[in-house]
Chains A and B, each alone.
Chain A
Amino acid sequence: MTNYIIALFLGVFFGFSLNKAGLTKYHKIVNVFRLTDMAVLKFMMTALIVSMSGLYFLRWLGFVTFPAAPATYIAGNLVGGLIFGVGMALAGY
């Protein structure tokens, strides 16, 4: 139960940050593919760097153990990513 409350709480902040970064807007998503507005990329990479360095630091301190990372199967990730990009550029979400 506590786990669900944590999920709800984290979800609110997740949605909030997406909204404030402008990722809920069509033109933000499409313009990153037109290479005219890099906000989406800046947002994604900042999040990646912060969480990556934070998690590896916490693991070094012994506070966390990593959950199973998403499986790598090159063909699936690649084909899935290619299809995903088409959908993302069309829908803009």
Chain B
Amino acid sequence: MKTIIAYIRKEEWSPYVAGILLGIVGILAVWLSDSLLGASGAFENLAGMIGKAVAPNLFDNLYFNFVMPPGFNWSLMLFIGTFFGGMLGAFTSGTLLWGKKDAANPDEQWKRIFGPQTWKRWLWGFIGAIILEYGAGIAGGCTSGLAISGGMLLAPAGYIFIAAMFASGIVTAMIIYRKRY
């Protein structure tokens, strides 16, 4: 028991152990509620909800009416749980940065490569996230919703997505890191 608690308090688990945990979560999602794990879809449901309230004409299109209908659903609930689960993970390892110094830009590697400015980190995070979510919208899922959930049902979509994601990710990293790659 003591070793288990000590392991839970560790900041970084073996990726294999964490992967087994995620695999079990993926099985339970299908078994208990006949749903697939996903992270990016919830943002689109949420965006649809806000958009329909603010600019109903603009959001009255095929995508937001049929592909990603707005509204409260299973994946949005999962998303809320994910947020608190991530916090819980950081809390158990004592690395929760809420309200602490450097909380807005904690990554050492980022600072070494791009400098210490917080606004830069946030700007690139914002731009990157827009590109990422747009790509997920086109592909029909993200790393969890398409690569893992699709892959575990042996859907070809998942594997095409993984290959494409790594190909362009590697090229992008090469470009931004250049000699430091």
Contacts and interface: CB of A to CB of B under 8 A. Distances in A.
B27 A92 contact: no
Contacts of B78: 7-8, 10-11, 14
Contacts, number: 342
Tell me what chain B mostly uses at the interface: helix, strand, loop, or mixed. helix
Nearest to B137: A80
Q: How large is the interface on A (under 10, 10 to 19, 20 to 34, 35 or more residues)?
A: 35 or more
B119 interface: no
Task: Kindly name the residue among A46, A49, A80 whose own CB sees the greatest number of chain B CB atoms within 10 A.
Answer: A80
A65 B16 CA distance: 27
B82 A11 contact: yes
Interface in B146-181: 146-158, 160-173, 176-177, 181
Tell me what chain A mostly uses at the interface: helix, strand, loop, or mixed. helix
A3 to B, nearest CB: 5
Contacts of B80: 8, 11
Interface of B: 10-13, 15-37, 74-75, 77-90, 93, 107-110, 124-158, 160-173, 176-177, 181
11 contacts: A14-B81, A15-B85, A18-B18, A30-B173, A46-B16, A46-B22, A47-B148, A50-B27, A51-B23, A81-B139, A91-B132
